[in-house]
Amino acid sequence: MTYLPTLLITGGTGFVGGALAARLIQTPRWDDCLFLVRAPHREDGLARIAHVLRRHHVSEELLDRLHLEQIICGDLNNVDDWKDDPRIASIEKVLSSAAIASFGNHPSIWPTNVDGVLAMAHALHQRCRLKRFLHIGTAMACGRRAPLPVPEGYDAGEDTEHFLEYTASKHEVERRLRQELPDLPLVVARPSIVVGHTHHGCEPSGSIYWVFRIARALQTFPCELDQKIDVIPVDYCAEALELLLEKPQLQHTEYHLSAGEENSCSFEEIDAAIAQAVGQPPMRSVYKKQSLEEIAKTQDRFKALLGPCNRRIVLRAIRTYGGFASMGMLFQNQRLLDEGMRPPQRLATYAGHCERTSRGHLIAEQMKFDYK
């Protein structure tokens, strides 16, 4: 019998895409899913998806639902190699999650995040009768000078002062998707900062959580402890994406997936939750806000405090996240709530899980999720 999937998922082996897959495998929707996976053979692609699902604690019984017909081998840099696969013709919805999510200057950021996504969108728009193309961007594509809290749908256009090459690429691909494919049923989801899982902590991924570990280990960072940071857990992000994929009618075409003003946490709250979880005192009495230049003067102590690490990358990370944290950027999230989504869990309620599941893992090991 010919397999006729209706939902194409790219980035299913990543943090956010994997969390959505772990959610969908528990539902009837799973039988309609097709995964684009960078792999030489379907068996390798299936193994990669299975590995990610296990990291999200998907049971072996549920993993039996994953089958070879759900795997299409390829990536965004070779769309012509897979766009004519017979299974593509039945696709009605797309979750565009695949990206080079590196906070370094990875050479493939632009070819993948912009050129590759555009090539895929053009191919699918021509071949399929798409009902929704849900693209995952980033809330930080708003740039440094956005009004606070950042309104949903905000776009400074050519005047955007980007944080990173990654955020610039995400901003550009949104612009070009709208410009080149005005009839594409495009919906853009812009997550804020995605950290950990409310039940599994950092077992699925240590992405970005290492920032808090660095600040606690050094007992300093370029922001005050009362600064708030907008963070959501990956399982909440996955739940929101499922809603945006499946709800028949949406009120908008752009949504923040964020904690918003109400559910963002201060660094002091996060530190207190981590300290309580591991039986340590919070760092309130010893913490000192310092500039990047002042912190750089202490880099000879990084190895002793942080474990084996690349001091240059650590300083670059502190510059990026410290600068972002000191701005106090929060992102409005009312549109998602108006669609019926529940409010997100606050990081302080599950930060202890993230810390406990990070024990035994080097900070440098967790940083590899974000500095490819």
Query: pLDDT tens-digit profile of 326-363?
Result: 888 999 999 999 999 999 999 999 999 999 999 999 99
- Answer yes or no: do 46 and 136 share one domain: yes
Indicate the pLDDT class of residue 55, thresholds 50, 70 and 90: very high
Residue 104 is predicted with a pLDDT of 75
φ/ψ of residue 205, rounded to 5: -170, 140
- Answer yes or no: do 142 and 223 share one domain: no
Q: Which residues contact 60 (CB under 8 A, 6 or more apart)?
A: none
Indicate the pLDDT class of residue 102, thresholds 50, 70 and 90: confident
Indicate the pLDDT class of residue 19, thresholds 50, 70 and 90: very high
CA torsion through residues 309, 354, 266, 370, sign: positive
Task: Establish if 198 belongs to a structural domain.
Answer: no
- Answer yes or no: do 136 and 217 share one domain: no
**150 DSSP β-pair partners:** 331
Q: Which two tokens stand for residue 302?
A: 């990084």
Task: Establish if 200 belongs to a structural domain.
Answer: no
Residue 320 is predicted with a pLDDT of 87
Q: Work out how many domains the chain is built from and give that number.
A: 2
Assess whether pLDDT exceeds 90 at residue 274: yes
Task: Establish if 250 belongs to a structural domain.
Answer: no
Indicate the pLDDT class of residue 6, thresholds 50, 70 and 90: very high
Task: Establish if 2 belongs to a structural domain.
Answer: no
Domain boundary among 142, 164, 191: 191
Q: Which two tokens stand for residue 115?
A: 């050129």
- Answer yes or no: do 220 and 174 share one domain: no
∠ CA 102-106-109, rounded to 5°: 75
- Answer yes or no: do 185 and 321 share one domain: no
Residue 322 is predicted with a pLDDT of 85
- Answer yes or no: do 177 and 275 share one domain: no
Angstrom CA distances, 158 to 165, 171, 181, stand at: 15, 10, 20
Task: Establish if 253 belongs to a structural domain.
Answer: no
Task: Establish if 252 belongs to a structural domain.
Answer: no
- Answer yes or no: do 186 and 269 share one domain: no
Torsion of CA 249, 255, 259, 261, to 10 degrees: -110
Task: Establish if 353 belongs to a structural domain.
Answer: yes
- Answer yes or no: do 12 and 66 share one domain: yes
> Average pLDDT in the 224-242 region?
97
Task: Establish if 180 belongs to a structural domain.
Answer: yes
